[in-house]
Amino acid sequence: MLKEYTPPLVWDEKTQGMNSPTSGCRYDKELPQGEHPFQLYSLATPNGQKVTIMFEELLELGIKDAEYDAFLINIGKGEQFSSGFVKINPNSKIPALVDRSNPSEIINIFESGNILLYLAEKFKKFIPIDLAKRTIMMNWLFWLQGSAPYIGGGFGHFYVYAPQKIEYAIDRFTLETKRQLDLLDKHLSENEFIAGDSYTIADIAIWPWFGNLVLGNIYNAVNFLNTDHYKNLKRWALMLQDRPAIKRGTIVNRLIGNEWEVLPERHSGEDIDTVLLKKP
């Protein structure tokens, strides 16, 4: 039985693992830099996968200006708190991107949804031109940015990572997770893709969280959540999983998995090809 906790009048500052109540860099270290126009510093979490999938989708279209170097940021070792990373993203969260395509105007971009929007607007791909369709897409892009923390920091944390299994916390976040799954399932019963009849950055943003979740790629909770119940969502998740860019993008900056799933750094398409060729 858990000991009941009574919050004090003023919270006594403490830390939990890498989490601290203060922001900013914790040590000095510059980030590596490759030769391509874009420099990505990330890890293959769902938020990190959004960006690598986007780059691979652009490259799949033959857009050579979307070439990128992807460097690993190991958040388990606190590499997101280096002076070099904090300079790009003061919030110390992956992913972070540097656009060096114009040497006279180097641009730092952080927040995964913002990176997707930046790349979509820069290359005019995977984003509708029509205002009404664009607004529908943006509805779902912003929905994901607000909803994903319930999946990752809420359900995933208490179901998988918390040192104690707290029934109240798991139930609370499971309720919201299943509500979100039901929402997507109903929406996809009437739409082929998230924003209608075309693939957009809304799909690219949502798949790494909800696609991975219903396919059992994160949290191993398909039985607990009864994800087979969400047939329309699963149809969409499987359809997108077969896209070459998603297969390629999900292994970039990955540390854990089979040998055909692990690629800490990416500096060319051949890096990904070499890994995928190992798949039996």
- All structural domains of the chain: 19-125+250-280 (3.40.30.10), 131-243 (1.20.1050.10)
How remote is the C-alpha of 81 from its chain's centroid?
Answer: 19
**Confidence (pTM):** 0.97
Instruction: Compute the average pLDDT of residues 78-104.
Output: 97
b/e sequence 47-84, b meaning 16+ C-beta within 10 Å: bbbbbbbbbbbbbeeebeebbbbbbbbebeebbbbbeb
Q: Which amino acid is at 64?
A: K
Q: Residue 22: how many CB atoms within 10 A of its CB?
A: 7
Q: Which amino acid is at 80?
A: Q
pLDDT on residue 1: 63
| Per-residue pLDDT tens over the stretch 243-253 | 999 999 999 99
Angle, helices 131-149/112-123, rounded to nearest 10 degrees: 160
| Per-residue pLDDT tens over the stretch 135-191 | 999 999 999 999 999 999 999 999 999 999 999 999 999 999 999 999 999 999 999
Instruction: Compute the average pLDDT of residues 271-280.
Output: 94
Mean pLDDT of the chain: 96
pLDDT on residue 222: 98
Ramachandran sector of residue 66 (left: φ over 0; alpha: ψ -120 to 50; beta: rest): alpha
What percent of the chain has pLDDT above 90? 95
Asked if residue 63 has pLDDT above 80, the reply is: yes
Residue matched to tokens 């990505």:
40
Angle, helices 231-241/167-188, rounded to nearest 10 degrees: 80
